[in-house]
Amino acid sequence: MALAYYLPNWFFMYDLILELSFAVILGLVAFLAFRIYKITSHKQTFWLGLGFSFIALSNLIESVLNILIIIKTDNLLSILNNISFSLLNDLSVYSHILLRIIGLTILVYMTFKLEKIQVLGLMLITSILILFFSKDFIYSYYLLSTIYLLVISGYFIKSYFRTKRASTFLIMLAFIFLTIDTTIFVLWRNHELSYVLGHFPELLAYLLILWNFLLVRKK
């Protein structure tokens, strides 16, 4: 989650590659979830696919805008000369935050196993309004993400203790790592390395999601 305000310069390129990889992994899982939904009409699978799609899109858009920032910095494209660096940066940050919060809200809704679309609408409006009226937009985003990830992790912890399956364990662990990632930022936001440190549990989380995806696809 590259928020350039907190991102050390030397980490920019690594961040770009990681975010793109995360987008691809989530995109693959989302695609499979939609394919399964098409066959089974299982609602939770649809919400999982949609939630993951929004998060993948948030990573993808952020990466593309960051690539534009690099191109602009290198002054390779004259077409970008009129677009200010800060505008690109703001677009990258805000689109990432907005799409990711929408994705996480959908995943929280999925864990409730509800069939009331109004509840999801209310949750989305509330989440966006909290961010919009917050004095510290980025800190509120991380705090809200941590709360949502705690709820989602709780759901997967319960699922694991119900099924006791290795694959459920992988997904449970992945969401615990994602929660640790945002918690690091909430607790040590002023430390310049908190953003970099947060990427280690995040990378582990996405590797676990990828590992599970490959196990599922294995005949």
Partner 1 sequence: MNKKRDSMEIIHDILKYIGECRGKAKPTNILYKSNLSHQMLTEYLNDLLLKGLIKEIKQDDKKLYELTPKGYSFLNDYNIIRKFMTSYGFE
Which residues of the chain form contacts with partner 1 (CB under 8 A)? Answer: 32-33, 35-36, 38-42, 44-45, 48, 155-156, 158-160, 162-163, 165, 167-168, 170-171, 212, 215-217, 219
Q: How far is the CB of 167 from partner 1 (least distance, A)?
A: 4
Burial class (CB in 10 A: 0-12, 13-18, 19+), 219: exposed
Q: How far is the CB of 33 from partner 1 (least distance, A)?
A: 7
Q: How far is the CB of 43 from partner 1 (least distance, A)?
A: 10
Q: Which is nearer to partner 1, 74 or 115 (CB)?
A: 115
Q: Which is nearer to partner 1, 109 or 185 (CB)?
A: 109
Q: Which of 170, 159, 59 lies closest to 104, judged by CA?
A: 59
3-class DSSP assignment, residue 115: coil
3-class DSSP assignment, residue 5: coil
Q: Which is nearer to partner 1, 180 or 208 (CB)?
A: 208
- Cα 188 versus chain centre, distance: 20
Backbone angles phi, psi at 218, to 5 degrees: -70, 125
What lies within 8 Å, CB to CB, of 18 at 6+ separation is: 199, 202, 203
The CA distance from 137 to 135, in Å, is: 6
Q: Which is nearer to partner 1, 135 or 164 (CB)?
A: 164
Q: How far is the CB of 145 from partner 1 (least distance, A)?
A: 20
Q: How far is the CB of 165 from partner 1 (least distance, A)?
A: 5
Q: Are 61 and 92 in contact (CB under 8 A)?
A: yes
Q: Which is nearer to partner 1, 28 or 124 (CB)?
A: 28
